[in-house]
Structure 1
Amino acid sequence: MNKITKYIIKNVAQLGRTVNFIPLHAPIFEGNEIEYVTDCIKSNFVSSVGEYVNKFEKAICKYTGAKYAILTVNGTAALHVSLLLAGVGENDEVLMPALTFIATANAVSYIKAIPHFIDVEEKSLGIDADKLDEYLHTITLIENGVCINKNTKRKIKAIVPMHTFGHPVDMDKLKKVAEKYNLEIVEDAAESLGSFYKGVHTGNIGKLAAISFNGNKIITTGGGGCILTNDEELAKKAKHITTTAKVPHPWEYEHDMIGYNYRMPALNAALGLAQIEKLSEFIEKKRRLAKKYKEIFDDFKEFTFFTEPDYAKSNYWLNAIVLNKGYEHLRDEILKETNENGIMTRPVWKLIHHLKMFKNCPRMDLSVSESLEKRVINIPSSAYLGE
């Protein structure tokens, strides 16, 4: 075991104190979860018509500043519907980072649209807007206000920035690119609840956004997600589509379009309401943990602890170390030894175009993403470690 791995194991273990196993990210239930879930069960309204669905949606709006929140069964469902409402259709291309969780590409595929992979920058681990602008200038043309890929002859309809590990993308730069090429912005904010870009909560900058409340997220509903939008008409459509497109009626079953059974049940929403009450506290602890990591790992030539961009306040959902170039060979040893010693670490996701389902999708030069894939390691990030 090399000295770097020993140092990581020693210091992370000290943060975990008495526990024998330190997970990557564990939920914390220390508020009103039992009270609210029990109350929901006693009410008998445990499906998506329960009052806790409305209460949780209002709490999300209050926290994020978004005008409308529509709860869904998971973040992928939220992204799927957001893309539909942004006008993405079959055979359209959707720009997205190759460095993302597979759900981003899956949601595009549900519509029978085409993922088009673009590169990221090291500063934010999100989309490199400058590089994207140069690329689109080369491969696209605008016909009747529509961005056309000259190589594939398909429309490029939208762009999906993903706020990696909770760190916001440089959205001002990206907005300029989107406006220049007439692209809709749909934010994949699955990981960034509690993160702010220049004082604005993520998810408020694009036309729509998707958030995840999966078990490993900063707050959880077990499984669950949410659509954010500031457009009243889109919010109404989102609620309608995710409720099987059922037309309101006292007894008739009338549906006016193809819809989805995507609404979050009230039982999950009750859990979420209790969790969001603790969100500010969780973020304070997670930012404290990030500060500790920065101090612990400050003097190594082999790697750098990743910190938020200067324009952002991040929730630090998942902390990461980035091996410096020339030290990529240390990655697998660090992963192996930490996990064998009870400290869960993970590599960043395999780039989406490396997966067989998406290997033939269009893509730009992905040299930064290719490099980061070999160098990024996520380390334990649970809020309790920052206590």
Structure 2
Amino acid sequence: MNQVEKFIEFVQEQYKTTDFIPLHEPRFLGNEKKYVLETIESTFVSSVGAYVDKFEEMMAEISQTKRAVAVVNGTAALQVALRLAGVKESDEVITQALTFVATANAIAYNNAKPVFLDVDVDTMGLSPKAVESFLEEYGELREEGCYNNRTGRKISACLPMHTFGFPVHLNELLEVCDKWNIPVVEDAAESIGSNYHGKPTGSFGQFGIYSFNGNKIVTAGGGGAIVTNDKQSGDFAKHLTTTAKKNHKYEYIHDEVGHNYRMPNLNAALICAQLEQLNSFIENKRKLAERYESFFEEKGIQFRTENPDTKANYWLMCVELNDRKERDLFLNQTNKKGVMTRPIWQLMHKLPMYAHCFRDTQKNAEYLEGRIVNIPSSVIINE
């Protein structure tokens, strides 16, 4: 039996099945049905309701921020957070090419330009050193902010993404961005429940965002949230994402171009029940990560684990293989046997719509793209 066959057998043993094993499926083990039925019975199933309010309160508490705003998905949250951070048409936003496409798309939705900089190998997220190097070469501080002296465009934000729930080196990144007067918006779509130096990811930047897509640790079926410690900005985010409609008993008064990004009360009911189980889900996944680490250590394969002073939620667990050939063999054999595995994303600058964007050498991103594979990471319910 080769290494891949042993891995398949191990995964089947963990999930107690020889049927298809997905990468990450939702678990509904609490009050989901109860809360959704309450919502139906209340008739408040759309964008106004008690569970929308409750969800925003829960998210502010979980993220340790002063204001949370419910939205329809994580991409919408990113788009609005960038707009609120000051990103305007033709501005530049520093981010990573090793990310899910939503990160880059949110920049494009604001008619801004992504600047793709390298990641750190240990976090798989935006590298503070790469950002510092770029700014030392191209940055120019003016009274109205930081500008790219090569393009003449304003660099309006820095958008790191916490890959698979592993926090980036936030202290170093914030120090660089503070020096250059660039606001940070955290793409914490994958990292709810992850901590950096004891503080939740998503709470460090001017804004943070989360996703509650069906494949996340907790899900609303879709859904997202914007969080911030600036209550006034949070209130404005609520205004913008609810079509910029001013409060009035019966008149329709909209004071600017807003977005219809409201989370329905039905979805909010589902995510409230899911958030009640967040801590237990993460502890369950961390136990699975320990088993994976022991298994792969015996096989001489690197299983990705959290860095010191961080706590990862282990949303999607992953291994680092020796090269692309070994990666592709692993992917082929596991998926053929009904154990779903998936490579890390294709780098954004390799996609046709972002091929023209500035990028640095991407040395680390290229290295990881050819080696990282996600493995089944669902909460185990049959222990």
Classify the TM-score, shorter chain: over 0.9
Secondary structure of 1:209's aligned partner: strand
> 1:61 Cα deviation (Å)?
1.7
> 1:135 Cα deviation (Å)?
2.3
Question: What residue identity is the alignment partner of 1:246?
Answer: K
Contact 2:16 2:382 in 1 (8 A): no
Structure 1 residue runs of 5 or longer lacking an equivalent are none
Aligned Cα RMSD in Å? Answer: 1.2
> Which among 335, 341, 356 is matched to residue 345 of structure 1?
341
- Counterpart CA distance in 2 for 1:385 and 1:360 is 46
Contact 2:15 2:382 in 1 (8 A): no
| Equivalent runs, 1:257-272 vs 2, <5 Å | 257-272=256-271
- Counterpart CA distance in 1 for 2:18 and 2:35 is 29
- Residue 326 of structure 2 corresponds to residue 330 of structure 1: yes
> Which among 359, 366, 370 is matched to residue 363 of structure 1?
359
* Other-structure match for 1:113: 112
- Counterpart CA distance in 1 for 2:381 and 2:349 is 35
Once superposed, which parts of structure 1, at least 4 consecutive aligned residues long, lie more than 6 Å away? none
| Equivalent runs, 1:130-209 vs 2, <5 Å | 130-209=129-208
Q: Which moved more, 1:8-17 or 1:153-162?
A: 8-17
TM-superposition CA deviations, 1:38-85 (whole Å, max 9, x none): 000000111111111001111112222111110000000000000000
> Which among 299, 303, 306 is matched to residue 305 of structure 1?
303
Question: What residue identity is the alignment partner of 2:68?
Answer: A
* Other-structure match for 1:78: 77
> 1:385 Cα deviation (Å)?
6.7
Contact 1:339 1:345 in 2 (8 A): yes
Secondary structure of 2:298's aligned partner: coil
Question: What residue identity is the alignment partner of 1:181?
Answer: W
- Counterpart CA distance in 2 for 1:43 and 1:53 is 13
- Counterpart CA distance in 1 for 2:212 and 2:139 is 36
- Counterpart CA distance in 1 for 2:35 and 2:381 is 26
> 1:153 Cα deviation (Å)?
1.4
* Other-structure match for 2:61: 62
* Other-structure match for 1:6: 5
- Counterpart CA distance in 2 for 1:145 and 1:34 is 51
Q: Which moved more, 1:137-146 or 1:147-156?
A: 137-146
Secondary structure of 1:297's aligned partner: helix
- Counterpart CA distance in 2 for 1:345 and 1:50 is 39
- Counterpart CA distance in 2 for 1:122 and 1:385 is 32
- Counterpart CA distance in 1 for 2:259 and 2:197 is 35
> 1:18 Cα deviation (Å)?
2.3
> 1:351 Cα deviation (Å)?
0.4
* Other-structure match for 2:317: 319
TM-superposition CA deviations, 1:223-242 (whole Å, max 9, x none): 10000111011011000000
* Other-structure match for 2:378: 382
> 1:138 Cα deviation (Å)?
1.1
TM-superposition CA deviations, 1:268-309 (whole Å, max 9, x none): 0000010001111100000001000000000344x3000011
Residues paired across the two proteins, number: 383
- Counterpart CA distance in 1 for 2:131 and 2:244 is 37
Task: State the TM-score, normalizing by the size of structure 2.
Answer: 0.98
Q: Which moved more, 1:248-257 or 1:144-153?
A: 144-153
Contact 1:159 1:178 in 2 (8 A): yes
> 1:6 Cα deviation (Å)?
1.6
Task: State the TM-score, normalizing by the size of structure 1.
Answer: 0.97
TM-superposition CA deviations, 1:240-259 (whole Å, max 9, x none): 00000001111111100000
- Counterpart CA distance in 2 for 1:39 and 1:134 is 54
- Counterpart CA distance in 2 for 1:134 and 1:52 is 45
* Other-structure match for 1:234: 233
Identity over aligned residues, as a percent? Answer: 49
Question: What residue identity is the alignment partner of 2:370?
Answer: K
* Other-structure match for 2:16: 17
Secondary structure of 2:150's aligned partner: coil
- Residue 278 of structure 2 corresponds to residue 273 of structure 1: no
Contact 1:212 1:225 in 2 (8 A): yes
> 1:146 Cα deviation (Å)?
2.0
* Other-structure match for 1:28: 27
> 1:88 Cα deviation (Å)?
0.4
Contact 2:166 2:314 in 1 (8 A): yes
- Counterpart CA distance in 1 for 2:59 and 2:173 is 25
Contact 2:21 2:376 in 1 (8 A): yes
